[in-house]
Amino acid sequence: MTANLQGMTAVLLPGTGSDDDYIRRAFGGALLDAGAVVIAPRPLPGDLIGGYVEALDAAAQLGPIIVGGVSLGAAVATNWALKHPEQCIAVLAALPAWTGDSDGAPAAQAARYSAQQLREIGLDAAVAGMREGSPAWLADELTRSWTAQWPGLPDAMEEAAGYGGPTREQLAELQVPMGVAGAVDDAVHPVAVAAEWAVAAPRAALRTVTLDAMGEEPTVLGDACVAALREAVSLL
């Protein structure tokens, strides 16, 4: 891969409870400006992981692709890249939530808690509780995406919470460059995990952002990921 993204297809997968609308806005700036084609599949609450993998497989039928995503989406994309090295050009991993097994990971715990709340008290009350503990911009994003994915959202959250991310050993086998972005003040997606991924993969670089900056301008996250990828490519 070269640093030139002109004409390349990037398939980007949303995180748990998020949606294609957000990921298009987060990544569309840097990738579209570079001439890439962005595909952001809509989450299917009844088959979240399967729907993501199907979207990756379908896009790769037309030629090698860039894969990536946020949180869960980053894990699914990276696992796909490891299984399809000839069909993947590069990986964009934003806010990876855990390495390997999800047990004990804050993001998995949060997803399970949210699923429980949604089932016990319903969408409106769960959204109200989520808004109380989230930055305003994130609360607005999740209110929209949670509502759109109801009533299948609790099942999707539990499926995501049990998903196994790439291990350190698997990341060491990644054959393509990877750009990683982490948020230094995100307790749900610890920046230490992003750093671990960037260190474990042989051709990777890390850029960091803040939640406040992401709230002010959604493209900050995608810009950081693409900048990290360009740095990783320059190391080849």
One-character DSSP codes across 61-89: TTS-EEEEEETHHHHHHHHHHHH-TTTEE
Q: What percent of the chain has pLDDT over 70?
A: 98
Residue 77, pLDDT > 60, answer yes
Q: What is the mean pLDDT of the chain?
A: 95
CB-based contact 201:172 (threshold 8 Å):
yes
Instruction: Please tell me the distance from the alpha carbon of residue 210 to that of residue 179, in angstroms, as a whole number.
Output: 17
N-to-C CA span, the chain? 9
Q: Can you read off the two tokens belonging to residue 3?
A: 């640093």
Residue 212, pLDDT > 70, answer yes
Indicate the helix (H) or strand (E) that contains 2: none
pLDDT for residue 4: 73
pLDDT for residue 28: 86
CB-based contact 198:225 (threshold 8 Å):
no
Instruction: Please tell me the distance from the alpha carbon of residue 107 to that of residue 11, in angstroms, as a whole number.
Output: 23
pLDDT in tens, 155-183: 999 999 999 999 999 999 999 999 999 99
pTM above 0.85, yes or no: yes
Report the pLDDT averaged over residues 42-60: 97
pLDDT for residue 234: 83
Report the pLDDT averaged over residues 6-11: 93
pLDDT band at 101 (very low <50, low <70, confident <90, very high): very high
pLDDT band at 235 (very low <50, low <70, confident <90, very high): low
pLDDT in tens, 12-38: 999 999 999 999 999 988 999 889 999
Query: Domains in the chain, ordered, with CATH?
Result: 9-100+165-234 (3.40.50.1820), 106-158 (no CATH)
Closest CA to 177 of 199, 196, 205: 205
